[in-house]
């Protein structure tokens, strides 16, 4: 564990600790959560339970925020200080104070006060997992038995630490459950990934043969614990688990080649049906359905006919999904930018502040629309170099930049600094409208048109011009 240097602002914390020493004292239904943020990147902190907004607190002149919560549900929350976020476990009677520096957001975060034990433990586990990534990546190349043995060993080390914590501190059963799940599901995810990562690293056509006990851990895991729904390792496990189940079952009974699923529509329909049959907890099911939809619609780039079949199955299995409007909007956006369709008539602003439609920009020429934001300086630098290269390689194309999420003055200054041609630079005034219509994902995406008509709405600035 790390050493914590006390701040004078935390001095009053001792009063809370001393007051809490009386075992007969009734637990307050209230929760206090406050702290100091060094080098803030936003002017407020937002608290959520799952994806539900709970409260927001502005930073004061001393960079402090504060929440007083009445009669909240015990459990896992997360706080957001844009663009970062992290977990906090809250129970009635907690009086937590944090101090963090956004330069090293996760590494500097320390909890103090009643409720600190479980939160500091989960933070240390999170950092340990981050530090193990390189080791895990190397382990995927070893045989299945060796991999399983090493993963089990790493998992047990953390479970032993949790056991020590329970002996030293008064941890509630609910908090203990979440802390244990935070460990167990992380290592279970590695095992779900193993067959496919090993196959890729070994350059073999088939996934490796696994010992019969390799998946024994699945017997102890659950699909339906509401308290785990927004726990990151649990959700990541479910995503990988259903991908694994779908791949393995498709490999045994579906149209495949070299043990690789080729029919993406079939595979993703299969995945939806597995989730529907095994998961009862509605929020988890809704979130997993959303993940499948995004994975298929955004990454596969299937035909319009297949996309239509997929969305019909999605509605049939999950018509009351909480994300249904979002998924329908995504589907409609993708349907409207299929090849041989006119680019959506969205308006953007030029350097003179004049509104110009994308159709007008793309009229009578071959045009490549690419996207950038002032918030991502590295991407901007790389994109400016790439545009210069492509302009020389493909002089018959007009490369047009569209800026998103940057105010007008910053956009103009960054355009000049990047060396872009002003006449080919535009700014999206309505970010939501633009991204919904053009599906701006990922950031290296480009849209290739000819005489207003879409050639490829899912091009890539680095892969589409080789």
Question: CATH number of the domain that 51 lies in?
Answer: 2.60.40.10
Coil vs helix vs strand at 326: helix
User: How far out from the chain centre does Cα 183 lie?
Assistant: 19
The two three-digit tokens of residue 85, written as one number: 């976020």
Residues 319 and 351 in one domain: no
Residues 110 and 129 in one domain: no
Asked if 81 and 37 count as a contact pair (C-beta separation under 8 A), the reply is: yes
166 occurs within a structural domain = yes
Contacts of 211 (CB under 8 A, 6+ apart): 144, 145, 148
Residues 331 and 240 in one domain: yes
Residues 144 and 106 in one domain: no
Coil vs helix vs strand at 374: coil
pLDDT digits (tens, 9 = 90+) for 279-314: 999 999 999 999 999 999 999 999 999 999 999 999
> How far, in Å, CA of 223 to CA of 354, rounded?
54
Asked if 218 and 242 count as a contact pair (C-beta separation under 8 A), the reply is: no
* Residue 114: how many other CB atoms lie within 10 Å: 20
Section 429-438 average pLDDT: 93
Give the torsion sign (CA, 16, 18, 19, 20). positive
Residues 182 and 244 in one domain: yes
Give the containing element (helix H, strand E) for 153: helix 144-168
Contacts of 312 (CB under 8 A, 6+ apart): none
Q: What letter does residue 342 receive in the DSSP assignment?
A: B
- Final residue belonging to a domain, choices 335, 370, 392: 335
Coil vs helix vs strand at 220: helix
466 occurs within a structural domain = no
Residues 109 and 197 in one domain: no
Q: Domain range holding 446?
A: 347-460
Which pLDDT score, from 0 to 100, does residue 17 have? 42
Q: In terms of pLDDT, which residue wins out, 83 or 426?
A: 426
Position 257 confidence tier, pLDDT thresholds 50, 70, 90 = low
Which pLDDT score, from 0 to 100, does residue 248 have? 85
CA dihedral 16→21→25→28, nearest 10 degrees, is 30
> How far, in Å, CA of 121 to CA of 181, rounded?
13
Which pLDDT score, from 0 to 100, does residue 12 have? 39
Contacts of 286 (CB under 8 A, 6+ apart): 318, 321, 322, 323
Which pLDDT score, from 0 to 100, does residue 162 have? 97
Edge-to-edge strand list for the sheet holding 397-403: 355-357, 347-349, 425-427, 397-403, 366-372, 445-450, 453-460
Asked if 33 and 88 count as a contact pair (C-beta separation under 8 A), the reply is: yes
pLDDT digits (tens, 9 = 90+) for 145-184: 999 999 999 999 999 999 999 999 989 999 999 999 999 9
301 occurs within a structural domain = yes
Residues 110 and 128 in one domain: no
391 occurs within a structural domain = yes
Largest CA distance in the chain: 81
Residues 105 and 131 in one domain: no
Residues 43 and 140 in one domain: no
> How far, in Å, CA of 148 to CA of 192, rounded?
11
- Go through 239-257 and write b for each residue having 16 or more CB atoms within 10 A of its CB, e for each that does not: bbbbbbbbbeebeeeeebe
pLDDT digits (tens, 9 = 90+) for 331-356: 999 999 999 999 999 999 999 999 99
The two three-digit tokens of residue 448, written as one number: 């290739």
Beta bridge pairs of residue 445? 460
Which of 440, 194, 101, 175 lies closest to 298 in space, CA to CA? 440
Asked if 68 and 34 count as a contact pair (C-beta separation under 8 A), the reply is: no
Residues 180 and 329 in one domain: yes
- Final residue belonging to a domain, choices 83, 114, 145: 114
2 occurs within a structural domain = no
3 occurs within a structural domain = no
What are phi and psi for residue 12, nearest 5 degrees? -65, -10
- Residue count of the chain: 466
Give the torsion sign (CA, 111, 37, 53, 438). negative
- Final residue belonging to a domain, choices 335, 359, 393: 335
Section 445-464 average pLDDT: 97
Residues 289 and 358 in one domain: no
Asked if 178 and 89 count as a contact pair (C-beta separation under 8 A), the reply is: yes
Domain total for the chain?
Answer: 3
> How far, in Å, CA of 381 to CA of 386, rounded?
9
Q: Is the pLDDT score of 60 beyond 60? A: yes
The two three-digit tokens of residue 212, written as one number: 């019969």
119 occurs within a structural domain = no
232 occurs within a structural domain = yes
Which pLDDT score, from 0 to 100, does residue 28 have? 76
Residues 129 and 110 in one domain: no
Q: What letter does residue 103 receive in the DSSP assignment?
A: G
* CATH number of the structural domain spanning residue 418: 3.40.30.10
Question: Alpha helices, DSSP H only, in 169-281?
Answer: 173-202, 232-253, 264-278
The two three-digit tokens of residue 15, written as one number: 């009063």
Position 21 confidence tier, pLDDT thresholds 50, 70, 90 = very low
Which of 239, 243, 259 lies closest to 251 in space, CA to CA? 259
Asked if 412 and 351 count as a contact pair (C-beta separation under 8 A), the reply is: yes
> How far, in Å, CA of 106 to CA of 94, rounded?
21
pLDDT digits (tens, 9 = 90+) for 259-274: 456 689 999 999 999 9
* Residue 122: how many other CB atoms lie within 10 Å: 23
């Amino acid at each position: 564990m790390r050493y914590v240097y006390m701040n004078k602002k935390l001095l009053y914390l001792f009063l809370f600790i001393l007051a809490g020493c009386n075992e007969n004292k009734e637990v307050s239904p209230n929760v206090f959560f406050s702290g100091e943020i060094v080098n803030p990147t936003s002017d407020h902190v937002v608290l959520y339970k799952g994806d539900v907004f709970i409260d927001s607190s502005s930073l004061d002149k001393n960079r402090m925020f504060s929440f007083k919560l009445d009669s909240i549900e015990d459990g896992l929350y997360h706080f957001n200080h844009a663009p970062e976020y992290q977990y906090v476990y809250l129970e009635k009677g907690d009086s937590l104070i944090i101090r963090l520096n956004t330069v090293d957001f996760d590494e500097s975060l320390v909890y103090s006060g009643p409720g600190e034990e479980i939160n500091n433990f989960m933070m240390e586990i999170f950092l340990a997992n981050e530090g193990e990534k390189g080791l895990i990546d190397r382990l995927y190349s070893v045989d299945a038995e060796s991999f399983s043995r090493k993963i089990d060993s790493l998992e047990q080390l953390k479970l032993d630490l949790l056991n020590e914590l329970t002996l030293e501190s008064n941890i509630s059963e609910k908090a203990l459950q979440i802390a244990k799940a935070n460990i167990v599901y992380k290592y279970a995810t590695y095992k779900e990934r193993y067959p496919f990562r090993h196959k890729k690293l070994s350059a073999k056509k088939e996934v490796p043969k696994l010992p019969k006990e390799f998946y024994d851990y699945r017997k102890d895991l659950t699909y339906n614990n509401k308290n785990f729904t927004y726990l990151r390792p649990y959700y990541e496990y479910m995503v990988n688990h259903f991908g694994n189940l779908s791949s393995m079952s498709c490999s045994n009974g579906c149209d495949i080649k070299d043990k690789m699923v080729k029919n993406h529509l079939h595979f993703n329909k299969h995945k939806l049906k597995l989730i529907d049959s095994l998961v009862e907890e509605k929020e988890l099911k809704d979130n997993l359905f959303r993940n499948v939809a995004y994975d298929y619609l955004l990454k596969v780039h299937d035909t319009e006919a297949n996309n239509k079949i997929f969305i019909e199955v999605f509605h049939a299995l999950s018509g009351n999904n909480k994300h249904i409007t979002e998924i329908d909007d995504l589907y409609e956006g993708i349907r409207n930018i299929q090849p041989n369709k006119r680019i959506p008539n969205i308006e953007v602003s030029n350097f003179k502040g004049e509104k110009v439609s994308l159709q007008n920009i793309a009229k009578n020429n071959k045009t490549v629309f690419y996207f950038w934001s002032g918030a991502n300086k590295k991407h901007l630098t790389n994109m400016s170099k790439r545009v210069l290269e492509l302009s020389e390689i493909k002089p018959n194309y007009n490369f047009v930049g569209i800026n998103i999420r940057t105010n007008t003055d910053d956009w103009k200054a960054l355009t000049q600094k990047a060396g872009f041609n002003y006449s080919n630079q535009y700014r999206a005034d309505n970010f939501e409208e633009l991204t919904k219509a053009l599906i701006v994902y990922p950031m290296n995406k480009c849209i290739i048109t000819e005489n207003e008509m879409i050639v490829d709405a899912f091009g890539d600035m680095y892969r589409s011009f080789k």
